[in-house]
Structure 1
Amino acid sequence: MATVTLTAENFDEVAQSDGIVLVDFWAEWCGPCRRFAPVFEKAAGNHPDIVFGKVDTDAQQELSERFGIASIPTLMAIRDGVIVFAEPGALPAPTLENVIEQVRGLDMEDVRSRLKSS
């Protein structure tokens, strides 16, 4: 599956859907972003049940500010509308796969109850 371009106009609709959404915050001029892009694209092809979205931080400064993106690339994982992971840095493929498996394995009832109590 190809990646989806996320903008201020469609981000909430995509992020609030059921399932897993992985978001790559990137910029054209960013060397680590360019190195991470093929890893992200390959993972998108290997996981057709996950939405892989890309946010161009230059074109979508509003989204970058909204999520406090201070370093790129930043990977964000959203499951069932809840941000469950966000970390800057270009991940190697095995680490990205590990993040995906951990996000798949989350008990979302537990996650939601912890969010309510904090």
Structure 2
Amino acid sequence: MATTTLTAESIGQTLAENDIVLVDFWAAWCGPCRMFGPVFEASSENHPDIVHAKVDTEAEQELAAELQIFSIPTLMAFRDGILVFNQAGALPGPALEQVVQAVKELDMDEVRAKIAGQQDAPA
């Protein structure tokens, strides 16, 4: 499965309709982004069950700002619409594969309980 392009208009629906979404925030002028691109594309071929999406931070500056993207490339992983991984920097293939496996193996009931606990905690 090839990567898909996300925009401010499509990101919400994409996250809501898919179990796992990996998002690569990139820009055409970014050397590390261009190096990471083929690694991300290969992952999309190896994991057709996961949506691999790209956000061009030049075209989607408001979305990048809303999601607090301060350096690129940045990889975010969402599971059941919940952000479960967020890291700046180009990952080599084996490291990306580790992220994919870790996201697949997450106990989402535990994640939701942890989030609920944080929301219940006094400020």
* Smaller-chain TM-score bracket: over 0.9
One-letter amino acid of the counterpart of residue 7, structure 2: T
- Per-residue CA deviation, residues 41-69 of structure 1 (Å, 9 max, x unaligned), is 00000000000000000000111011100
Q: How many pairs were matched up?
A: 118
| 1:16 positional shift | 1.8
SS in structure 1 of the partner of residue 17 of structure 2? coil
CA distance in 1, matches of 2:68, 2:53: 17
Aligned partner of 2:113 in structure 1 is 113
Aligned partner of 1:49 in structure 2 is 49
Please give the TM-score of this superposition, normalised by the length of structure 1. 0.98
Is contact 2:2-2:41 (8 Å) kept? yes
SS in structure 1 of the partner of residue 109 of structure 2? helix
RMSD, aligned CA = 0.6
Aligned partner of 1:32 in structure 2 is 32
Gaps of 5+ in 1: none
Percent identity of equivalent pairs: 58
One-letter amino acid of the counterpart of residue 51, structure 2: V
SS in structure 1 of the partner of residue 8 of structure 2? coil
- Per-residue CA deviation, residues 59-109 of structure 1 (Å, 9 max, x unaligned), is 001110111000000000000110000000000000000000000000000
CA distance in 1, matches of 2:8, 2:18: 19
CA distance in 1, matches of 2:17, 2:94: 26
CA distance in 2, matches of 1:15, 1:25: 15
Runs of 4+ more than 3 Å apart: none
CA distance in 1, matches of 2:7, 2:92: 26
Aligned partner of 1:98 in structure 2 is 98
Larger Rg: 2
Aligned partner of 1:81 in structure 2 is 81
